[in-house]
Structure 1
Amino acid sequence: METRTKAKVLIVDDERVHRYMLHALFTEWGWEAEEADDGATAVTAVEQGPFDAILMDVCMTTMDGMEALKRIHSLNPAIPVVIMTAFSSVDSAVAAIKQGAHDYLTKPLDFDRLRTTLEVAMGHRHQESETTEIGQPFGDDGRIIGKSVPMQDLWEMIMHVAPTEATVLIKGESGTGKELVASALHYKSQRHDGPFVKVNCAALAETLLESELFGHERGAFTGADRRREGRFVQAQGGTLFLDEIGETSPGMQAKLLRVLQEHELQRVGGQETIKVDVRILCATNRDLEKEVAAGRFREDLYYRLNVVELEVPPLRERQGDIPLLVNYFLDQFAQRNGRTVSGVTPECMDVLNRYPWPGNVRELEHSMERGVILMRGDYLDLSALPLAIQRWAGMNEPKEVEEPATLKEAEKILILKTLEETGGNRSEAARRLQITRKTLLNKLKSYNIN
């Protein structure tokens, strides 16, 4: 595929002569230009291909600029739209700015200002992440990336809740960044100088999880050759983050409830009562209310954990943040791998903005890491993206394959496909396959898949 390096602008105006004049002007400036004679035509053009910017009139016959702006941003919120208007309708242009337009210009156009405005708009799209102040920083190097309304609302809640001692339940799909939210809550709290200890409850069997959390005495079980302090004690004076809390067994839930109520625990195999001063943060991708109703999660524990609830939005509901995340991850992986990355081709960025990201931010991060490693030039293009994204975009259509000859082969294909769909998240893949995570790991091992 040929990489396009020229800027590409869509001119939307129902005056044919004005479109022709602008097209000639943009060509003289070294840009590519396409024309649309109405808002509806512009929406269709955006559906069919990428643009670096859109220059659009407000007053048009079939669909006006305001409606077209709304529909274009629903398709691709990263495209900057500059509104053109007559002096008599400046109020409409101001309203368009409030709805997300990048800027507005009045007719007759000042060509110097037009060029500057479009250059700034296109530079904003492709270089926005070059500033070091992207997102909300916390701790030594933590950063929540996002300027969309859902992420601004989430950050406001984090800042409001963090200074308190409230137990927080962080909800969201796999890969949305729940652990990052927990980290922000800790480092913005009064306990920020204390330890921040993390435990993945889905990664351990019940007996191992009990020892991991509460510690054990020497001789408590086979292999316990010495006393070990648990994560609660390790988090003393700080914060304990229990990820995938919905995966715990009823027995473990009862023991956790006691610690939350009494602020004390006993090591496995021990009699000594240990007082603990720990703030608890939990996360889950399950609907715990449904789990309570089904009898799989204790109602009393649910209400203990759910003092404050934070919902982390999936990436498909914050598409305007995708260019920020893309450029942030590209910069991180370029530095880590000693590569030079000048940016992303418009075609590639358009696909990244449209792709539904079932694996959320984690899938995007892994895709950018792969892209940096496999890209052949200075710009990330579609050929360096994962095959699943290329196929979604209509590239490299999968060839017909022979039907699996055995049940084991069919099972292997299904497992690998599910892992690909979840961005490599094994806990989520196990949930979708309706098997335990341990069973999934054993099957992967039997297939010699790391």
Structure 2
Amino acid sequence: MNEHTPQRLIGESSALSDLLDQVSQVAPLNRPILVIGERGTGKELIAERLHFLSQRWQQPFLKVNCGALSDSLLDADLFGYEPGAFTGATRLHKGRFERAHEGTLFLDEMSNMSQAVQEKLLRLIEYGEFERLGGQTTLRVDVRIVAATNEHLPDLARKGRFRADLLDRLAFDVLTLPPLRARQDDILILAEHFGIQMSSELGWPMFPGFSDRVLEQLCQHPFRGNVRELKNAVERSLYRWNQPDKAIDHIVLDPFASPWQPGNREATPDLDDTLGFADQVARLEVLLLQRALDQNDRHQGRAAESLDLSYHQFRNLLRKHNLTTRQA
């Protein structure tokens, strides 16, 4: 991919297609856009697509994570500063707005902005004007702003945590990204795409594919971390599988899943000297079964997977310990 090519958005679901149609429609307009979505849904990819489908595609596309910087650092990063503006400011620094002139600036996690920075941003959107920190000269820029958040900004505005007038300026249109659970048709397409990429990275001659069991697990998993979680799960599973000539038959969805996690007192129950070996093992089995169900919202398929058991093995253990009547 070169600097003038956006990353691909993978999928064929109607939810994704509808979103991309909306992106194509609004991209040519020189207006601010809000991109809303859960973590891992691809907000930055949508911002890139908005830029590269606009008339600004040959101009700079810059991005900043507003949640990763303190208020003072974010102010300096966005608007720049003059020598002497603060201790250590020995030279002129052009902020991202200046460097993004005639291009696009992507403001990620912008709900974390302080009220002071929000006020400066509001003025810039309205008039295209700002001053560097410590400066007295008013500068003008032409920058398209694409802002993203996983928060509900109207609620924050009602609570006084986000300026309502800034929200009005930013929300010329709002693109809401569907979570992966609303893109069921895309899960296996994405999984195969990430599998092929990881196979190449591992030096495998080809991607061996997934077993039917793993395909079913992928389709049933909620993927609260969305596409990013799916990508991590596929890549993790391939490198742990390490059998390039066999279809992947085990998917590692939770890298923390282990009965021996440090600090997990339930994982190592106290031994009872009055019980025999078989009874002690039975106690541990019950503990692991109940904990797996609790951690997976009582979903037996995901609970079985977290214990590296097949669904039928898991169900047999539930019957063995008379736990089936407790599962709703």
**TM-score when scaled to structure 2?**
0.76
CA distance in 1, matches of 2:247, 2:177: 28
Q: CA deviation at 1:139?
A: 4.8
- 1:233-244 aligned within 5 A: 233-244=98-109
CA distance in 1, matches of 2:249, 2:41: 23
* One-letter amino acid of the structure 1 residue matched with residue 219 of structure 2: N
CA distance in 1, matches of 2:108, 2:264: 39
Q: CA deviation at 1:338?
A: 2.1
Are the structure 2 counterparts of residues 141 and 276 from structure 1 closer, same or farther at C-alpha, using a change threshold of 3 Å? Answer: closer
- Residue 230 of structure 2 aligns to a residue whose secondary structure is helix
Partner of residue 230, structure 2? 364
Partner of residue 151, structure 2? 286
- Residue 5 of structure 2 aligns to a residue whose secondary structure is coil
Partner of residue 229, structure 1? 94
CA distance in 1, matches of 2:249, 2:255: 11
**Does residue 305 of the first structure (1) align with residue 305 of the second (2)?**
no
Partner of residue 402, structure 1? 265
CA distance in 2, matches of 1:341, 1:141: 25
- 1:189-208 aligned within 5 A: 189-208=54-73
Contact 1:219 1:225 in 2 (8 A): yes
Contact 1:347 1:381 in 2 (8 A): no
Are the structure 2 counterparts of residues 382 and 206 from structure 1 closer, same or farther at C-alpha, using a change threshold of 3 Å? Answer: farther
CA distance in 2, matches of 1:309, 1:147: 22
Partner of residue 381, structure 1? 248
Unaligned segments of structure 2, at least 5 residues = 268-294, 297-328
Contact 2:63 2:105 in 1 (8 A): yes
Query: Which stretch shifts more, 141-150 or 177-186?
Result: 141-150
- Residue 271 of structure 1 aligns to a residue whose secondary structure is coil
**Does residue 327 of the first structure (1) align with residue 192 of the second (2)?**
yes
- 1:81-160 aligned within 5 A: 139-140=4-5, 142-160=7-25
Q: CA deviation at 1:329?
A: 1.1
Aligned residue among 323, 344, 355 for 2:221? 355
Provide Cα deviations, 1:47-94, integer angstroms capped at 9, x if missing partner: xxxxxxxxxxxxxxxxxxxxxxxxxxxxxxxxxxxxxxxxxxxxxxxx
Partner of residue 317, structure 2? none
CA distance in 2, matches of 1:243, 1:337: 32
Aligned residue among 140, 154, 158 for 1:275? 140
Are the structure 2 counterparts of residues 347 and 403 from structure 1 closer, same or farther at C-alpha, using a change threshold of 3 Å? Answer: closer
Q: CA deviation at 1:197?
A: 0.3
Q: CA deviation at 1:271?
A: 1.0
- Residue 281 of structure 1 aligns to a residue whose secondary structure is strand
Are the structure 2 counterparts of residues 242 and 365 from structure 1 closer, same or farther at C-alpha, using a change threshold of 3 Å? Answer: same
Contact 1:139 1:184 in 2 (8 A): no
Q: CA deviation at 1:283?
A: 0.5
CA distance in 2, matches of 1:202, 1:305: 18
* One-letter amino acid of the structure 1 residue matched with residue 232 of structure 2: H
Are the structure 2 counterparts of residues 328 and 141 from structure 1 closer, same or farther at C-alpha, using a change threshold of 3 Å? Answer: farther
**Which of structure 1's runs of 4+ aligned residues deviate more than 6 A?**
396-400
Count of aligned positions: 264
Partner of residue 109, structure 1? none
Contact 1:159 1:185 in 2 (8 A): yes
**TM-score when scaled to structure 1?**
0.56
Provide Cα deviations, 1:94-149, integer angstroms capped at 9, x if missing partner: xxxxxxxxxxxxxxxxxxxxxxxxxxxxxxxxxxxxxxxxxxxx952511111111
Q: CA deviation at 1:353?
A: 1.0
Contact 1:174 1:285 in 2 (8 A): yes
CA distance in 2, matches of 1:382, 1:291: 45
Partner of residue 31, structure 2? 166
Q: CA deviation at 1:397?
A: 6.6
- Residue 49 of structure 2 aligns to a residue whose secondary structure is helix
CA distance in 2, matches of 1:283, 1:322: 24
Are the structure 2 counterparts of residues 382 and 295 from structure 1 closer, same or farther at C-alpha, using a change threshold of 3 Å? Answer: farther
- 1:17-28 aligned within 5 A: none
* One-letter amino acid of the structure 2 residue matched with residue 383 of structure 1: H
- Residue 106 of structure 2 aligns to a residue whose secondary structure is strand
Are the structure 2 counterparts of residues 358 and 163 from structure 1 closer, same or farther at C-alpha, using a change threshold of 3 Å? Answer: same
Q: CA deviation at 1:273?
A: 1.3
Are the structure 2 counterparts of residues 383 and 349 from structure 1 closer, same or farther at C-alpha, using a change threshold of 3 Å? Answer: same
Are the structure 2 counterparts of residues 323 and 216 from structure 1 closer, same or farther at C-alpha, using a change threshold of 3 Å? Answer: same
* One-letter amino acid of the structure 1 residue matched with residue 222 of structure 2: P
Higher relative contact order (CA 8 A, sep 6+): 2
CA distance in 1, matches of 2:188, 2:181: 13
CA distance in 2, matches of 1:403, 1:268: 54
Query: Which stretch shifts more, 151-160 or 363-372?
Result: 363-372
* One-letter amino acid of the structure 1 residue matched with residue 30 of structure 2: E
Q: CA deviation at 1:227?
A: 1.0
